Structure 1
Amino acid sequence: MRLQFMLGEIASGIRRNASMMASVVLVSMISLFFIGTGLLAQREVDLAKGYWYDKVQVSVFLCTSQSSDVPSCSDGAASPAQTASIKRELLAQQPLVEQVYYESSTQAYSRFKTQFAASPYLSQISPQSMPAAFRVKLSDPKRYGDVASLVSGANGVEAVSDQGKVLDTFFKILNLLSIGAVILAGLMAVCAVLLMTTTIRQVAFSRRRQVGIMRVVGASNAVIYLPFVIETLVATLLGAVLAIAGLWALIHFGINHLFNHVGSGGDLVSLIGTDDLWAITPWMFVGTVILALFTAWLTLRRHVRV
């Protein structure tokens, strides 16, 4: 009978304060959405590092007949002897240099046509203008600078592309996005706490007569507090459910659909999926419950005199 009475009071309280409860739901949803976004962004950083650090290469571009303005290309296109010398120099750096791939001008032109098929400048590029290159796979990708400095300026070498610098910038951008999402989520969480506190105070004020009667008939503090706590918990959990649904839609219909439609997402980077969302979902619900219970109980202790 007491349980039935309690559930009835909770349902009645939610109906009477529907607008305030809706505000708590929305603010909780937004704050948890940004928290989830920050966690997923950090997960994407970890996945991208694991994917790209296995593929980081130092690209050594050889001289062409059109690169005579480069001091190391004063003799024109790289000769077979210079090409062989550069390859020996790279292979001598084993075990740091794991593999050395040679890409001819014809192969480079074919790859360029595939990657930039829609480019209006494709007709202006000829196979002779594409430099041959050595693609160097490293056993320790973080030491790309050692190999880059070794062959830079060597005869027959036009330029050395340090892909690690590009990737470092990419990871910094992802980290900044992740940090920004977490900071925004923190601000929204503060807003959620303040709104929950205000809601509980207003609801408690509207029920001050009822609380007084319950106290007179001998109800304990826990019995008096419980409806307020459960109402707040229900609202925040509903917000968490909506936030999870929003994150799922973002991944399923946004990220995955976009890259699948483009058809090159899997070749460019390893992407987060719904499995990553389900991995953080329990922690988001646990955090929601702790935040709601702590906020509600502390507010009631301070503002509801029983």
Structure 2
Amino acid sequence: MRFRYVLSEVLVGLWRNVTMTVAMIITMAVSLTMLGASFVLYRQVDQMKTWYYDRIEVSIFLSKDITDAQRQNIDASLTGDELVRSVEYENKEQAYTKFRELYADAPDLLSAVKPDQLPESFRVKLKDPQQYQLVFDKYKNTEGIDDIVDQRKLLNKIFDILGAIQTMALVAASIMAVAALMLVGNTIQVAAYSKRREVAVMKLVGASNWFIQSPFVLEAVVAGVVGAVLAFVGLVLSKWLLIDGSLQTLNQLLTPVHWSTIFATLPLMAAAGALISAVTAWVTLRFYIRV
């Protein structure tokens, strides 16, 4: 009987303040969408770091006047180095072939560069990419080596940009969360005020605070969960229409966003929406019922 009463009061309360309820749901949906997007971006940045760092190379460019003995000495040193996982030698012809593949859309540049202008190099993969500085210090003064380049420097700049975007998304989600908190609290106050006489009667007949508060709290929880579902639908559509649709070419540069990551946001957003709404409603009603 009590459950039916609470459920009926929740439905009546949601319909009675339908305009504010819709506004609360939309605000929750927007803030939770930002939260879910931040979660997806955070997962992708970590995944990209793992994927790219496992594949980055240290390029050791050789001098133009290097001798065969110096080349063999560098090859032997790198092959026997405990910091090195693999070594691949690239001669001038191979470097030129790769250059033509990379800049196939720039014929003027291709015509200006000749095969003998590109340096020989060793493409070195480290067991731990974070130990680049040790390798650099060890080989920088070796005869026959012209320059040592770490691809991680470029990747770190890219990850810094992605990290900044992630931070911006979290800040936007936090601002929207504050707006949602204020709107939830205001909605609950209006709902409680519209039923102030019923609340006064229930208090006079000895109803517990929990029994009085539960319909209002559940109203906020329902709005939060509905907002989470809408936010999840928004992320699904973004994955389907944007990531796998018009922005599909980015998959050549970025690691793919898996559906498992998108589905993992639903319980996160539902829990966050329900918890934020419930706590806000409970705190608001605590002050109201004390009056």
Pair in the same fold by TM > 0.5: yes
SS across alignment from 1:271: coil
Q: Deviations over 1:169-212 (max 9, x none)?
A: 33333333323322332222222111111111112112223333
**Residues 257-289 of structure 1 deviation map (CA, whole Å, 9 limit, x = unaligned):** 456446x52xx4433322112234323322222
- Check conservation: 1:43, 1:272, Cα contact below 8 A: no
Contact in 1 for aligned 2:87/2:123 (Cα 8 Å)? yes
Match of 1:292 among 256, 265, 277: 277
Q: Sequence identity, in percent?
A: 36
Structure 1: segments with no counterpart, 5+ residues: 65-74
Match of 1:125 in 2: 113
> Is the 2:232–2:265 Cα contact (8 Å) retained in structure 1?
no
Deviation at 1:254, TM superposition (A): 2.5
Once the two structures are TM-superposed, the CA of residue 136 in structure 1 deviates from its matched residue by 0.4
The residue that corresponds to 2:75 in the other structure is: 87
The TM-score with structure 2 as length reference comes to 0.88
1:139-173: CA deviation from partner (whole Å, max 9, x where unpaired)? 12111112223333544333211122223333333
Note the 1:67-82 alignment, pairs <5 A. Answer: 75=65, 78-82=66-70
Query: Per the alignment, in what secondary structure is the counterpart of residue 255 of structure 2?
Result: coil
1:15-94 maps to which residues of 2 (within 5 A)? 15-64=15-64, 75=65, 78-92=66-80, 94=81
Q: Which residue of 2 aligns with 1:109?
A: 96
Conserved? CA contact 2:32–2:269, under 8 Å? yes
Matched, 1:151 2:136: no
Q: How many residues align structurally? A: 290
Distance 1:291 1:213 in 2: 29
2:179 corresponds to 1:191: yes
Q: 1:245 offset after TM fit, Å?
A: 1.7
Maintained 8 Å contact 2:229/2:266: no
Q: Which residue matches 1:207?
A: 195
Change (3 A) 1:102 1:258: farther
Instruction: Tell me: CA distance 1:122–1:203, structure 2 relative to 1, closer, same or farther (3 Å).
Output: farther
The TM-score normalised by the length of structure 1 is 0.84
Question: What is the CA distance between 1:60 and its match in structure 2?
Answer: 1.0
Q: Structure 1 residues 172 and 256 mapped into 2: Cα distance closer, same or farther (>3 Å)? A: same
2: CA distance between counterparts of 1:115 and 1:256?
25
Paired with 1:105 and 1:261, the residues of 2 have a C-alpha distance of 31
Letter aligned with residue 87 of structure 2: V
Conserved in 1, the CA contact under 8 Å of 2:14 and 2:219? yes
RMSD: 2.5
Aligned residues of 1:52 and 1:269 also touching (Cα < 8 A): no
Q: Aligned equivalents of 1:226 and 1:261: distance in 2?
A: 50
Q: Which moved more, 1:3-12 or 1:278-287?
A: 3-12
Alignment of 1:122-271 (within 5 A): 122-216=110-204, 219-257=207-245, 260-261=248-249, 265=252, 268-271=253-256
Give the match's secondary structure for 1:108. helix
> Alignment partner for residue 258 of structure 2, among 273, 276, 291?
273
Instruction: Choose 140-149 or 3-12, whichever is displaced more.
Output: 3-12
Q: Which residue of 2 aligns with 1:11?
A: 11
Instruction: Give me the whole-angstrom Cα distance separating, in 2, the residues matched to 1:249 and 1:142.
Output: 38
Q: Secondary structure at the match of 2:256?
A: coil
Paired with 1:79 and 1:98, the residues of 2 have a C-alpha distance of 25
CA shift for structure 1 position 237: 0.8
AA at the equivalent of 2:54: D
